[in-house]
Amino acid sequence: MYLSARTQGRLANLIITIAEGEKKTEMVRQVLAEQKMFEPYTAFRRLDQLRTGELTVSDIVEFLSDNKIYPTKAQSNYLFRRLDLNRDGRITYPDFVKAILPKEDSRLRQIASLRDSYYIEVNMLLPTEVEWGLSRVFQQEIQNYNSITAAQEILTASADFTSLDAFRCIDQVYLGYITIDTLQDFLRQNGAKLSFDELTAFFRVVDSDEDGRISYSELLEALTFVPDFFQQERQIANELRRSRERIIQIEREREVLEDLKKSRERVEELRRSRERLEYMQDLKRSREKIEQFDELRRSRERLEDFRKSRERLEDLKKSRERLNQLEELKRSRQRLEELEELKKSRERQAQIDELKKSRERLEDLRRSRERLEQLEQERKNQEKIEELRQSRSRIEDLQKQRRKIEELRTSQERLEQLKKQKEEIELRRSQERLEELRKSRERLEQIEALRQSREQQRTLEELRQSRERGEQLRKSQLRIEQLENERKVLERSRQLERVERELEYERQRSKERIERLELEAELERRARERALEYEFATQSNFVQSRIYDTPKRYK
């Protein structure tokens, strides 16, 4: 974690303090809004004694001093910031209304805002209960400031506390902002519990732009009372810092190249000496290792080629599956066409059946006509048999029958006309259905063509992305190889520097040994000279004593 458990507990305590203070302030706001004589515009004019339409810090301080509340400069500035919701450096009437009216009880807020305003003169006080309630709201904000500053001092006294680490501790999901859920999870982890109303109260205080999220600058202002004025400048500075880091990296690479050139020169110098032969052997070994590394790289490339061939095989499999799907779609189309043909054949059979039925009906009518004719003939025969008496009556009957026959004929003609009209209507409907089916077929074909084009575009995009990824991987591998080569060269240069240091150390030691030997030789030479001088002096003294002693002996 970014902060210790103790510091996280202090941070949770500060959050709870802010939430509880806002809840207390909300209770005082509701008490003020319940006063019948409270009206927001009149209260604003009570504070705005100069009638400028804006409130300043001095106006708030004068109001509090009238109610025997004497805040410090820091407390008055905090109160001004709490009333200045849009952060424009002035408190207008909309800012005052938003800060004074209740925020949880919409009914009270609406009742208080709909009250009629009344005239108040300059230096005139509000009614006692309204004056006391308004001053109580400001006093509660000051008390909140005192409790928050005490909790801030405890939190900032921690050695490992930073505002960025505090933001990261709460934003454990790395969203870049704080939500109610992440804040609740953080408080639960630290053994603190807040209700949903208390969490919304904390967000009312901290979330200045009212977007339901707490950014880093908003949390910084809540934790330290320091507004993040340099957010854009910090972004620019971060970009400059990144560009500087890139420049430094480039300069370091240049220095590395220069060091590599120098190391090459040193290698050439070391090749001239006998001791550098051993290093040449090491270089041969390193070359062998490089060759092994090249072989490994080649094997990696082969493995990548195999992987690419596998991917291509997978793509071919996918394309085969798509072709199979297309074939299945074609088969389904053929089936649909067969079904449509079956439908058409069924409709034709139905029409044929209807025509057969109509023919049968016509045959029945013809048969009925033949029967009528037979009856007529029989009746004629009977008329001939029955004599002329019954001729009149039969003639009348025949006339009636003829009339009936004519009526039947007319009815049959009407039926035939109706049948023809029905058949025409059915043919029209069938033609319209066929046109609709043809249009639906065309639409299906267009949809399938669009789908195929989209699938082709997707496959092309996937191939392009795979190619780009392969190029990126190849570039990254080349970069890795370059870095590994540079690292090896640096290691070689460091080994050369170590060899040179050892040589210089051995040279210094050999020089010291030679100097010591020379000093010892000089000391021995001087001691020998002194011994020779001493012996020569003793011999000369002995000779002189013999010379001086010989005459005395003869005496």
| 392-407 pLDDT tens trace | 777 787 778 788 888 8
| 196-213 pLDDT tens trace | 888 888 888 888 878 888
Residue 550: per-residue pLDDT: 43
Quote the CA–CA distance of 24 and 22 in Å, as a whole number: 5
Q: Which range is most confident: 28-42, 244-258, 270-284, 307-321? A: 28-42
Residue 549: per-residue pLDDT: 46
**Which residues, in sequence order, are CB contacts of 392 under 8 Å at separation 6+?**
none
The amino acid sitting at 272 is R
Q: For 388, which DSSP code? A: G
Asked if pLDDT for residue 230 goes beyond 50, the answer is no
Residue 235: per-residue pLDDT: 54
Q: Read off the pTM.
A: 0.43
Q: How confident is the model at residue 104 (pLDDT cuts 50, 70, 90)?
A: confident
Residue 136: per-residue pLDDT: 92
Q: Which is nearest to 143 in space by CA: 53, 28, 278?
A: 28
Better-scored residue on pLDDT, 541 or 54: 54
| 496-517 pLDDT tens trace | 877 777 878 777 777 777 877 8
Q: What is the mean pLDDT of residues 341-351?
A: 82
What is the overall mean pLDDT for the chain?
A: 81
Residue 27: per-residue pLDDT: 92
- Count Cα neighbours of 101 within 13 Å in the Cβ-side half-sphere: 22
H or E element, residue 340: helix 276-386
152-166, 235-249, 257-271, 287-301: the lowest-pLDDT one? 235-249
Give one DSSP letter per residue of 437-479, joined into a string: HHHHHHHHHHHHHHHHHHHHHHHHHHHHHHHHHHHHHHHHHHH
- Count Cα neighbours of 106 within 13 Å in the Cβ-side half-sphere: 0
The amino acid sitting at 388 is L
Q: Which is nearest to 143 in space by CA: 89, 88, 69, 216?
A: 69
Coil, helix or strand at residue 442: helix
Token couple for 412: 């049959």
Asked if pLDDT for residue 98 goes beyond 50, the answer is yes
Asked if pLDDT for residue 46 goes beyond 80, the answer is yes
Residue 50: per-residue pLDDT: 86
Crossing angle of helices 196-206 and 216-224, in 10° steps, is 90
Asked if pLDDT for residue 88 goes beyond 80, the answer is no
Asked if pLDDT for residue 229 goes beyond 50, the answer is no
- Count Cα neighbours of 195 within 13 Å in the Cβ-side half-sphere: 4
CB 25 within 8 A of CB 83: no
Quote the CA–CA distance of 338 and 335 in Å, as a whole number: 5
- The radius of gyration computed from the CA coordinates of the chain, to the nearest angstrom, equals 57
* Alpha-helical regions (H) of 190-275: 196-206, 216-224, 231-271
Q: Torsions phi, psi of 27, nearest 5?
A: -65, -40
